[in-house]
Amino acid sequence: MRFNAALVLASVVAAVQATDFRLLYNLPPTPTRSPSPSSTFGNACATWAPALASGVPFQSFNVEAGDYQGKNKDTEALIECVFGVAGDQTAYTTDVAASLGATEAS
């Protein structure tokens, strides 16, 4: 089987260009965590008025408990809120997180 060098190069470049929009946030204190931080953030993200007003489509949200090493799952989360289409994306993570009382971890 013969590989097309251009196809292989394009695949490698596409993989390298993937953007990680996740940011580490301290979760606001909530006595019962009901609803969950994931559903609260997801609902706020998907209905974020400034993003919807810009006319770009909702793409995704993600909430991963813990930091980049998987520690502090009760107090921190890696979150993202992205609108747009592949190659032309805008993250609204900071604005949505601030509206919910989360603070960026340092």
Check if the beta carbon of residue 77 is closer than 8 Å to that of residue 96: no
Q: To the nearest 10°, the Cα dihedral for 69, 71, 72, 76?
A: 20
Is the predicted pLDDT of residue 91 greater than 60, yes or no? yes
pLDDT over 80 (residue 15): no
d(CA 40, CA 47): 11
Count of CB atoms within 10 A of residue 4's CB?
8
Residue 89's pLDDT is 93
pTM metric for this prediction:
0.75
Spatial separation of the C-alpha atoms in residues 20 and 16, rounded to whole Å: 11
Are 91 and 84 within 8 A, CB to CB?
no
